[in-house]
């Protein structure tokens, strides 16, 4: 009787656990977190897609549109492009080293990714200071309204990724010992988000600065 009660009690706890946190779902081939982040990124594509569409419509209907390389600061933006690309490489290396159980190396790469994010934000702040110093504000023109809106929103996404990386370097790192596979999955998820942020900038850079 006791054995059956214990077994039933154990099954009850098992039923309370959320499935597919580590292993992929049979219907999608993705675990819950990865499916969720792809759905989230789909909404982000619609958000930035609407902004890019607005830029195209406003630009094509304008009698005159400023050239990005004449009004903006291309060199800091170019440096930031390479910083973000490098940070995406670091995320992949962090995830790969976690899979190989090189935990110290993986943590180093996560820290390097976070440092790249910090560098991006400082360079972007410097670029903003140059624009503001020249009297260019969002109210100056449609061009600068779009520039500050799109780069500012992108910067907020970079900041959000930095917060997550900082968490994993700090209190979240203990999950590596208690739920290793789930932790690795989380690094993969934030990596997907970070790659998306990088990709948005790769489109923003030529559209705003070079065209």
Asked whether 62 and 142 are in contact (CB, 8 A), the reply is: yes
Looking at residue 207, the DSSP 8-state letter turns out to be I
Condensed to tens digits (0 to 9), the pLDDT of residues 122-162 reads 999 999 999 999 999 999 999 999 999 999 999 999 999 99
Domain segments of the chain as ranges: 32-210
User: Helices H, strands E: what count in the chain?
Assistant: 8, 0
The reply to whether the predicted model has a pTM over 0.85 is: yes
User: Distance between CA atoms of 123 and 76, rounded to whole angstroms?
Assistant: 6
How confident is residue 20, by pLDDT bands cut at 50, 70 and 90?
low
Q: Which of 45, 140, 27, 126 is nearest to 79 (CA)?
A: 126
Q: Which of 103, 125, 94 is nearest to 174 (CA)?
A: 103
Condensed to tens digits (0 to 9), the pLDDT of residues 45-61 reads 999 999 999 999 999 99
Structural tokens at position 120: 């991006």
Homologous superfamily of the 32-210 domain (CATH): Cytochrome c oxidase, subunit III, four-helix bundle (1.20.120.80)
Condensed to tens digits (0 to 9), the pLDDT of residues 1-10 reads 444 444 444 4
Could you identify the residue written with the tokens 């989230």? 40
Condensed to tens digits (0 to 9), the pLDDT of residues 86-116 reads 999 999 999 999 999 999 999 999 999 999 9
Q: What confidence score (pLDDT) does residue 2 get?
A: 44
Burial class of residue 198, CB neighbours in 10 A (0-12, 13-18, 19+): buried
């Amino acid at each position: 009787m006791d054995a059956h009660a214990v077994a039933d009690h154990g099954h009850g706890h098992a039923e309370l656990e959320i499935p597919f946190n580590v292993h992929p779902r049979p219907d999608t081939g993705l675990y819950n977190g990865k499916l969720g982040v792809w759905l989230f990124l789909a909404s982000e594509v619609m958000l930035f897609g609407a902004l890019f569409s607005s830029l195209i419509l406003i630009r094509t209907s304008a009698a005159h549109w400023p050239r990005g390389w004449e009004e903006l600061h291309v060199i800091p933006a170019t440096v930031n492009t390479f910083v973000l690309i490098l940070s995406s490489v670091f995320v992949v290396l962090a995830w790969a080293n976690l899979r190989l159980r090189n935990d110290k190396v993986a943590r180093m790469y996560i820290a390097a990714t976070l440092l790249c994010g910090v560098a991006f934000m400082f360079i972007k702040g410097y670029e903003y200071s140059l624009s503001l110093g020249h009297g260019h504000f969002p109210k100056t023109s449609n061009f600068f309204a779009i520039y500050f809106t799109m780069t500012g929103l992108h910067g907020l996404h970079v900041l959000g990724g930095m917060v997550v990386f900082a968490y994993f370097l700090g209190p979240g790192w203990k999950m590596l010992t208690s739920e290793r596979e789930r932790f690795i999955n989380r690094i993969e998820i934030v990596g997907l988000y970070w790659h998306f942020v990088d990709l948005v900038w790769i489109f923003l850079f030529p559209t705003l600065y070079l065209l």
